[in-house]
Amino acid sequence: MLSIHDMPGHLIRRLHQISTSVFADRVAEAGHDITPVQFAALATIEANPGIDQATLAGLIAYDRVTIGGVVDRLEAKRLLERAVSPRDRRARVLELTPEGKALMAVLRPVVVALQDDILPGMTTKEKTEFLRLLAKTAAAGNSLSRAPLSLPE
Partner DNA sequence: TGATAACAGTAAGTATGCTAACCATTTGCT
Partner DNA sequence: AGCAAATGGTTAGCATACTTACTGTTATCA
Binding site for DNA (CB under 7 A): 13, 17, 21, 35-38, 52-55, 57, 62-66, 68-71, 73, 82, 85, 88-92, 145-147
**DSSP code at position 91:** -
Please give the radius of gyration of the chain, using alpha carbons only, rounded to the nearest integer: 17
- Is the Cβ–Cβ distance between 64 and 53 less than 8 Å? yes
Which of 87, 90, 112, 124: binder of its own copies (CB under 8 A)? 112
Gap between the Cα atoms of 6 and 64, Å rounded = 33
Decide which of DNA, its own copies, none touches 150; Cβ closer than 5 to 8 Å per partner kind: none
Q: Tell me the closest approach of the beta carbon of residue 7 to DNA, in angstroms.
A: 14
Helix axes 36-47, 64-76, angle to 10 degrees: 90
| Residue 32 binds its own copies (CB under 8 A) | no
Residue 101's binding partner among DNA, its own copies, none (Cβ under 5 to 8 angstroms by kind) is none
Give the binding site for its own copies (CB under 8 A).
Answer: 2, 4-23, 25, 36, 40, 43-44, 60-61, 111-112, 114-115, 117-122, 126, 129-131, 133-142, 144-147, 149
